[in-house]
Structure 1
Amino acid sequence: MEATTQAPAPAPAENPLFEPHEPHWVSRAAFPIMVGLLALNLGALFAALYHNNYWLVVPLALTASHLMHGNLIGFHEASHGMLRKSRFLNDLDGVFIGFLSFMSFTLYRAAHQTHHAHLGLQRDEELWPFNDPQSPRWFRRLMAFTELFFGLFHTPAMFLRTFWRKNSPIRSKKVRRRIWMELFGIVAFHAALLTTAALTGGWKYWLWMYFIPGFIAGNLQSWRKYVEHVGLTGSTIRSATRSIIADTWTGKFMSFTLLHEPFHGVHHQRAGLPHAELPIYQRDLYPTNDEELEPFRSYSHAIGHLITCLYDPKVGAQWRGVQGAKTAVATR
């Protein structure tokens, strides 16, 4: 059947409260600030471990996990080529963050293109199996459980499935060769890390400064991804994406530490924008029809909406039998 092209919805009415303005330099510097805060946090965590002060170790590990989550979003920014002005430094940061999170940067960048080109639809590799109406509910529940609670391992495995499966969308021999090099690099990096911990007896430092906060950060990443899309079966970006416009200073600070990722609908509408400029276009997040969602006021409100969808996790208009849903989603 020939897919139909869905006309974009009209742009929302202008709101004088949301006039575009130049982002503050602090907003543009969010990633280096987050890296600096993480370095300070890990330094304090090292000192607390050295003195066996676990009253400090535990809260410092928790704050480190949030900052690591922010760095994972930096990995996403790098995949769009927008983390650094220098392409070399941008990719270097992406590869390094990928090594730490068991992810091939090149693999993520290639697969992530399907997420933007086919948001929530069956060709969206990042939202499998929730975008497949043939996938049984028990399997989708199992995948949701492993991703939400073992995200550090589930997410790399999901992308490896994209790379290794039959009819993979990643066909370029040059790209596949680079992915293999990065995968071997990841294995070598972690072998060296574990060997160092074993030879020096530094297991507690590896556990508390890397594995525990990294494990939590992987789960935070998964929960944020689910907040953004899981349970939504709309045919436009605003009906297929949950976005958050915080109305408190704590919420706005949270958005800053997550590189403005809560403005996620804007990112899908304007994928070429640096993260600091996403809040400028927050007016684009407001619905233009009854199918679309209002932005949420906080992550707690958005998570509440997500929880009601986890009994039967699904994504995409194809679940509603929308004509042409296998091919494209309306950009507005």
Structure 2
Amino acid sequence: MTTQRYVSCILCQRASVVRRIATIRSLSVAANPQSKPDFLKGEPHKRHPGLTHLKTLRLPEELLMAARSIIHRSQVAQLPDRARKLTNFLWSRKRATEDSAVRKMAVSLEKELWEKAMEKGGDLDEQAIADRIQRRVLSELRRTFYHWTPLKYDEELGAVYMAAKMAGGYAAVRRALNEIKKRDPTFAPQSLLDFGSGLGTVAWASHACWSDTLNELVCVDRSGPMNILAERLLKGDDEHAETHIKHVYFRQFLPVSPKHNSQTEKFSYLIMTRERRRPPEADALVDWSRLIAPPQPRTRHVHCHLCRPNGRLDHVVVTAHKHGRDVYRCARSSEWGDQLPLVQDN
């Protein structure tokens, strides 16, 4: 009996504390009334206007069947292992160093080594010193800079690349084009130039978005075998068949004139236009900030790395208490690359 009375007393005290907290919060809201921005526009949090990611995409059936036929005919040995190794190599590959940066460091090193040699004094064999300095500079440059070499695609390596990267590349392009359509629904391109076209996935993705208006697609890739492979994909691996997408032209140089498996692809994109476009009308109380890293949901808060409209990079910890329930739920439903609404403080 004593235990029951003790437990009931504790529960009563807790209920009293909760009521007091609720009363204090209601009084605080009443004392500081603020207009609540309607950034959701009637949509649920899982489909808030800042979301830009697409659902898991599938390759067009014609493209998938052509790729399977080409892989079957090529009979590449150990294709899954080679595809995995190529993917890892491409991800680990670094950007080529500019020649100007290499020359600048070489000149600086050579000057520093000559000064040290001169400080030693004595009889100097300039030719021997020059040879030694040259070997030292070359050794230091090899150690410091990434040794970048171009990949030369032949028919076999092209098939390996197709197995490794075609699905992810297609999905990445569709995501970028979807961003354009969402920002400007009236945009209807008539021509397209794809520089570094590879397998032609940009042509397939753009055709899926603007098949009614696109009437010329120019694909430029320095690899002749890759251009041939891309054209085989367009023809369904049948050289006598018509291309699935009309008016696609392949060049090695810029023209003078005009059970399904899923894959996640990381990519960057930049959308530019020559025209001056009026930015969409925005709520003065809401900042739509871009997620530049995967949000990290935790218990009752979400870590978000954001690029703000003014260009500033911020790490924001979103909570329901600080930012509001709607913003918090939007943060938990967002992914890398989406826009997150942050309500400005009055």
Q: Work out whether the TM-score is over 0.5.
A: no
Q: By percentage of residues, which structure has more helix?
A: 1
**Bigger relative CO (Cα 8 Å, ≥ 6 apart):** 1
More strand by share: 2
- The structure with the larger Rg is 2
Q: TM-score, normalised by structure 2?
A: 0.22
- Normalising by structure 1, we get a TM-score of 0.23
